[in-house]
Amino acid sequence: MILWLLLAAMTAGALALLLMPLLRKGAAAESRAAYDLTVYRDQLAEIERDLERGLLGPEEAVAARTEIERRMLAAADGQGERAKDAKERGGDRAITAAVIAAALPLGAFVLYLNLGSPELPGQPFAERQAERSQAVDDPAVQTRVAELAEHLRQNPEDLEAWLALAESYIALERYDSAANAYRHAILLAQGRPDLFSVYGESLVLANDGQVTGEARTAFGQALAAAPGEPRARYYLALAEAQAGNPRAALQMWVDLAADSPPDAPWLPILDQRIGATAEELGLEAASIAPTPRAVQGPSPEDMAAAEQMSPEDQADMIRSMVERLAARLEAEPDDPDGWLMLARSYQVLGEPEQARRAFDRAAGLAANGPPALKARIQQAGRELGFDLPQ
């Protein structure tokens, strides 16, 4: 209500300011020539001043004066326009005022009702303390994340804890952190390709729904280990759609739907995708038949998977993940356990020198750290075959 009163007051103020000069009879205006002559008179005066101060020679002054006087004559020729300039049409004023007074409020309110959101109050940050503390962000999940992080600091090799942490991060919509946690988990559990699919999904979420190259690789890994894995198939189809091949994507989704059990939880989303994409392409969703089993050649996702099958590629994938971990640690180097994990990963990849370097970073941080940390580093050092530098 207050809002509407204020808006009405603003409108009334605008009208008052606008209509005042219309309803007040204005003074008769000067002719255009009078304004011109004022300027020229000033120019003449300027010449006199310059002459007086010796800034201008007498001859130049005469020439300049003649020129300005010529302009004055030309301007004065236009004096006759005066009558035209100052014409007054009394009757029009009231009509104009009435039209404006009716049209402006009407137009402004109609436009505002279409564009505005009068029902929404302002929500300054400071007034939303309560909301913040109730949100998903807090406190249960938040506490759980803190606990898990603390636990993982003590036991960095607890795979289940890493997975739980990743899931909590997903709940908090902190997808980047979730991807990081999955990456740790995958590096720990070298033999569990089922994690690639959730890792890929977290990457997609972290990139605002874009299936990046890295995510594609992850889904390829997932399919290599478990052909037909629905999550990976779904996202690889999405990747096709984003790459500008909606037709191929549509076929892949239809195939996935045909392979899914009738009570699969992802079917509603899938159907929605199929419907939307078909509509976009101007096709009837029902008219698209799944690729028959018998003639099914290698599907795009199978090919993507096949590309990934070789052990070298698997090593490449792991290497790229290790590099990301290394990059993160460069940015946030105050993480001894991260360095330890990096050292272990390098050891697995058969790069003892790099492993040694990472271990030294961890040891360097531990040097000023609590005794428990020091002990853990020593323990890890023994496993890796490194001594703690003194």
Integer Cα distance of 118 and 121 in angstroms: 8
Contacts (Cβ under 8 Å, ≥6 apart) of 23: 93, 97
Nearer to another protein, 22 or 309 (CB): 22
Dihedral sign of CA atoms 205, 209, 213, 216 in order: positive
Q: Which of 233, 176, 185 is nearest to 207 (CA)?
A: 176
Tally the C-alpha atoms within 13 A of residue 306's C-alpha that lie toward its C-beta. Answer: 7
Rounded to a whole number of angstroms, the minimum distance from the CB of residue 143 to another protein is 17
Nearer to another protein, 199 or 346 (CB): 346
Integer Cα distance of 266 and 201 in angstroms: 14
Nearer to another protein, 70 or 382 (CB): 70
Rounded to a whole number of angstroms, the minimum distance from the CB of residue 155 to another protein is 26
Nearer to another protein, 304 or 343 (CB): 343
What burial letters (b/e) apply to 114-133, b meaning 16+ CB within 10 Å? eeeeeeeeeeeeeeeeeeee
Nearer to another protein, 123 or 287 (CB): 123
Integer Cα distance of 102 and 222 in angstroms: 67
Phi then psi dihedrals of residue 296, to 5 deg: -60, 110
- Burial (CB < 10 A; 0-12, 13-18, 19+), residue 22, is middle
Rounded to a whole number of angstroms, the minimum distance from the CB of residue 4 to another protein is 10
Q: How many CB atoms lie within 10 A of CB 16?
A: 10
CA angle 146, 388, 339 (to 5 degrees): 35
Nearer to another protein, 215 or 285 (CB): 215
Nearer to another protein, 125 or 295 (CB): 125
Rounded to a whole number of angstroms, the minimum distance from the CB of residue 295 to another protein is 37
Rounded to a whole number of angstroms, the minimum distance from the CB of residue 370 to another protein is 19
Q: How many CB atoms lie within 10 A of CB 29?
A: 13
Rounded to a whole number of angstroms, the minimum distance from the CB of residue 199 to another protein is 18
Rounded to a whole number of angstroms, the minimum distance from the CB of residue 362 to another protein is 14
